[in-house]
Amino acid sequence: EAQVTQNPRYLITVTGKKLTVTCSQNMNHEYMSWYRQDPGLGLRQIYYSMNVEVTDKGDVPEGYKVSRKEKRNFPLILESPSPNQTSLYFCASSLRGQFFTGELFFGEGSRLTVL
């Protein structure tokens, strides 16, 4: 089954404790992206990757890191989480990065709470 898998789905952590949210897709998609969703603000892009070893900042990259060593995986790293990073995070992928002619496939989301 074609899917985007995120882990963990739920996480409560404390300020400053490094964490990684994993994202994996099994559709051989070139493009992957991370979004955060906050009430009243919609979805905002954090980072995206056009292909392996190619990553770039979205609209709200501060406090986050990503890597794309393999085509299928695109982990989101919070080196020193802060309470303002409490949010619902989505990973998404698409067949091609340029000229969005197709859809984005989303994971089920990771709800992160930073105390």
Judged by the rule CB under 8 A, the positions of this chain that interact with other proteins are 4, 31, 33, 35, 40-43, 45, 48, 50, 56, 58-59, 88, 90, 92, 97-109, 111
Residue 115 Cβ vs other proteins, minimum distance, rounded to whole Å: 20
Nearer Cβ to other proteins (63/109):
109
Compute and round to an integer the Cα radius of gyration of the chain. 13
With residues binned 3-state (H G I as helix, E B as strand, rest as coil), the percentages for the chain, rounded to 5, are: 5, 50, 45
Residue 21 Cβ vs other proteins, minimum distance, rounded to whole Å: 14
Non-local CB neighbours of 70 within 8 Å, separated by 6+ positions? 52
Q: Are strands 10-13 and 110-114 parallel, antiparallel or unpaired?
A: parallel
Residue type, 31: Y
Nearer Cβ to other proteins (45/67):
45
Residue 103 Cβ vs other proteins, minimum distance, rounded to whole Å: 4
Nearer Cβ to other proteins (9/17):
9
Residue 81 Cβ vs other proteins, minimum distance, rounded to whole Å: 21
| CA neighbor of 35 nearest in space, from 101, 98, 113, 108 | 108
Nearer Cβ to other proteins (81/97):
97
